[in-house]
């Protein structure tokens, strides 16, 4: 049975943690939308590239040259992953997971929004 925070210091820490995670949400949403749009463009371009009968008849690089939409969207997607978009779309959950790891030593945890959860003290016999 977990109880909620009552100490002023813990309340201040919880406020700051929830504020920080909430601050990340708008940027995370934008990065998710960018990833979705580029992924859909890449998938659409790949479909058009694969169903084109000329793709089988010409060299690989010529077929990529004949399908610039797929080529550009694929390069963009690869560039986004090299730039770390996979970390940016899950940044709030990474912060919460790292906080849970540290807070576990103090018999506490937090949810995905940053709200602290105090766990009952273990009974030593």
Is there a domain that residue 2 lies in?
no
Is there a domain that residue 94 lies in?
no
Write the pLDDT tens digit of every residue in 2-42.
555 567 888 899 999 999 999 999 999 999 999 999 999 99
Is there a domain that residue 92 lies in?
no
Average pLDDT over residues 111-116: 90
Quote the pTM value: 0.75
Beta strand spans in the chain (E): 108-110, 116-118
* pLDDT over 80 at 1, yes or no: no
Is there a domain that residue 117 lies in?
no
Please give the Cα distance from 115 to 109 (Å, whole number).
Answer: 8
High-pLDDT (> 70) share of the chain, %: 92
The range of the structural domain enclosing residue 53 comes to 8-85
Please give the Cα distance from 49 to 65 (Å, whole number).
Answer: 11
Is there a domain that residue 102 lies in?
no
| Beta pairing partners, 118 | 3, 108
Please give the Cα distance from 33 to 2 (Å, whole number).
Answer: 36
Tokens of 88: 């940016």
Is there a domain that residue 16 lies in?
yes
Is there a domain that residue 38 lies in?
yes
Q: What total number of domains does the chain contain?
A: 1
Is there a domain that residue 27 lies in?
yes
Contact 86, 94 (CB under 8 A): no
């Amino acid at each position: 049975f977990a109880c909620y925070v009552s100490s002023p210091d813990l309340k201040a820490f919880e406020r700051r943690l929830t504020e920080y995670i909430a601050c990340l949400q708008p940027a995370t949403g934008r990065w998710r939308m960018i990833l979705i749009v580029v992924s859909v463009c890449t998938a659409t371009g790949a479909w058009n590239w694969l169903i084109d009968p000329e793709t089988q008849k010409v060299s690989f690089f010529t077929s990529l040259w004949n399908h610039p939409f797929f080529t550009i969207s694929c390069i963009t997607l690869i560039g986004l992953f090299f730039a770390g978009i996979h970390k940016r779309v899950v940044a709030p959950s990474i912060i919460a997971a790292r906080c849970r790891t540290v807070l576990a030593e103090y018999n506490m945890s937090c949810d995905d929004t940053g709200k602290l959860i105090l766990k009952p003290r273990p009974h030593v016999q």
